[in-house]
Amino acid sequence: MEKFPYTPNHTIQPSKKFGSKFGPILGSFFLGALLIYFLFPREKTVERIVDRPVDRIVEKPVDRIVEKPVEVIRTVEKIVEVPAQLSDFQKTSEAVAKDIIEAESHQLGAGATAIYPASNRSVKVYIFGNNDEIFKYVSKSEIVARVESIFRRNGFVVYKDDGPYSPTWIVLKINLLPNYNKTTLSGSLRIEINQNVMGFAGGLWKKSAVVTSAYGETISYGSNNYYKISSEFESLAIEACNDLSAAGPTEKIK
């Protein structure tokens, strides 16, 4: 192998050697570090499991009673003036006064319109003759029975003379006279509706029996027709009964 001679190149600077100068210094540094590491105690981190009481917060649903607002009721006293209580007498008087004032505005009752309604739809029947002798020719009991029957059939209660009080009387009147030989009866038959009414006149109130309506006819029967007298009273009773059933207030004055 051919060797070439070394020719120094002055353009290339030789590298400086630090070993001779810094070598001992670096060795001393590393030796000191090792001594410090092994000679002095060091802290060591060790993980250990330590049991400690821990407060656990567990959320549980709790039923809470929510109080509702209390309703406050206020009682306010109010003084009200109340009129004095009317007595029974005052109440009755007031009602009667109103009826009287109302009656003043109605027409005057006449004929059938003058009849008052029968209280409790009750009546009593009476019969009168112009003399006792007349009942030798006609039957008193038959006439009364027929008239009473008419009123009963139309819904009236007929009281006997000794029975309960009734303010309405049905009065039968016979005014007949026989001729000289007593073969003929001539005269009138009449039915009157008599009622007890309270009236005012001359500055005085008075309860009076008043004939509110009357029905009648004139007859002349021979002895062969005396039996028809009962039928005549029956016809008059039908007319009187119809008017008494329809009794009511009169019409107002226009």
pLDDT (tens, 9 = 90+) of the chain, 254 residues, equals 445 455 555 554 555 544 455 556 666 666 666 666 555 555 556 566 656 665 666 666 766 666 677 777 888 888 888 778 888 999 999 998 998 888 888 888 888 999 999 999 999 999 999 998 999 999 999 999 999 999 999 999 999 988 999 999 999 999 999 998 889 999 999 999 999 998 888 889 899 999 999 999 999 999 999 999 999 999 999 999 999 999 999 999 87
pLDDT of residue 52: 66
Which of 179, 163, 154 lies closest to 241, judged by CA? 154
Per-residue pLDDT tens for 145-190?
Answer: 999 999 999 999 999 988 999 999 999 999 999 998 889 999 999 9
Q: Is there a contact between 87 and 95 (Cβ–Cβ < 8 Å)?
A: no
Q: Is there a contact between 236 and 192 (Cβ–Cβ < 8 Å)?
A: no
Q: Give me the sign of the Cα torsion angle 85, 87, 88, 92.
A: negative
In whole angstroms, what is the distance from residue 149 CA to residue 63 CA? Answer: 88
In whole angstroms, what is the distance from residue 122 CA to residue 13 CA? Answer: 170
Helix (H) or strand (E) holding 145: helix 140-153
Q: Is there a contact between 235 and 143 (Cβ–Cβ < 8 Å)?
A: no
Per-residue pLDDT tens for 75-95?
Answer: 888 888 877 888 899 999 999
User: Could you count the other beta carbons within 10 Å of the beta carbon of residue 195?
Assistant: 24
pLDDT of residue 232: 96
Helix or strand or coil: residue 68? coil
In whole angstroms, what is the distance from residue 89 CA to residue 91 CA? Answer: 5
Instruction: Give the 3-state secondary structure percentages of the chain, helix then strand then coil, rounded to 5.
Output: 35, 25, 45
Q: Is there a contact between 193 and 115 (Cβ–Cβ < 8 Å)?
A: yes
In whole angstroms, what is the distance from residue 158 CA to residue 155 CA? Answer: 10
Q: Is there a contact between 136 and 90 (Cβ–Cβ < 8 Å)?
A: no
pLDDT of residue 18: 46
Task: Go through the domains of the chain in sequence order and give each one's CATH number.
Answer: 116-245 (3.30.160)
- pTM of the predicted structure, to 2 decimals: 0.64
Tokens of 43: 């802290």
Tokens of 203: 């500055």
